[in-house]
Amino acid sequence: MSPPLADRICLVAGASRGVGRGIARALGEAGATVIVTGRSSQAGAITDGRRETIEDAAHEVGAAGGRGHPYRCDHTSEREVDTLVSWALRRFGRIDVAVSSVWGGNEGHDGERFADGSAWGDPFWRRPVARFGHLMETGPYAALLLARAVAPAMVSARRGLLAFVSFSTEEGYLGDIHYDLATAGLNRLALACGEELRGHGVTALALTPGRVRTERAADAGLDATESPLFAGRALAALAADPDAARHAGRNLHAADLARLYGFTDIDGSQPERFRP
C-alpha cells in the first residue's frame, strides 16, 4: 500500500527545529512532499545562535520516507511569505497542507531570563511590553500571513488543511501573560479561519502539543513528556483523515488525537495531556 500522504504537498513554516521539525518529519513518514521553511539556513543566517537548519530538517523528511525541500523564509515578512507560496505553487501546482509552527517566544532566553531581564511568569506590571509585541508578531501575525497566502489556492481547489501550532487556553490561564495572550490569539485565529473556510472545502484548526522535548528543552535539561514527532504524527493523522472537517475551528490536543487515531510517540508510548 502507498503511504497515506504520498500524493500530498505540505508546507511547514517554522520547521528548522522544535515542533515544526517534528511535524515535517512525521509528514515525511507518511510519504508526503514537505516544503520546510524557517530563517535558519546553512547558506545564510541562523537564529539565536542555534545549530539547527532547514536543510537538516529537509534531510530528515527524506530519511523518514518523504521528499523534503528547504526554503528560507522570514514568516513575519508579508513579501517573503507571498514569494514562498508563489514559488511552491509554481513548483508543485498546489498546497494540500499548510502548518504554521512559527514561534519566536523563546529567543534570547538563557534558561532563566529573557533578554529584557524578565522571567517566565513575572507579574504583568513588572514586564516590559516590547516582548509581547515580538510574541504576537512571531505567533498570530506570522500564522495569519501564511493563512492569507495559501487560502486562495486552497479555496480554488476546494480542499486543504490549515493548522496552527498553539496551546489550548480552555482550562484557564497559562501562567505567563505574554504567552497566554499570544496563544489565545492563535486559537481565535483558528476559530475564525475555520468559520470562514468551512464552506469552501478547507479545514482550519489549532494543535496543542504537550511538554515537548525540543532541542532547546534538551539543552537546558528540562523535563519533557513527549518528542516533537508526537505532535507531528497528530498532524499527519489529521491530514490523512477524509473527515477532518469535523474538527474545523477547534484546538485539538495531540494526546487526544493519539487515542482517536491510534498513533504513538517515537518510544511507542501515548503520553497523557499535559496540564500546566
pLDDT, one tens digit per residue, over 47-90 is: 766 788 999 999 999 999 999 999 999 999 999 999 999 999 99
Q: Which fold has domain 9-228+240-261?
A: Rossmann fold (3.40.50)
CB 2 within 8 A of CB 212: no
SS3 250: coil
d(CA 12, CA 170): 25
Residues 111/274/37/35 CA torsion (nearest 10 deg):
150
SS3 call for 253: strand
For residue 262, is it left (φ>0), alpha (ψ between -120 and 50) or beta?
A: left
pLDDT for 87-136, tens place per residue? 999 999 999 999 999 987 666 666 677 778 888 889 999 988 888 888 89
Using left for φ > 0, alpha for ψ between -120 and 50, and beta otherwise, residue 115 falls in alpha
pTM over 0.85: yes
CB 66 within 8 A of CB 103: no
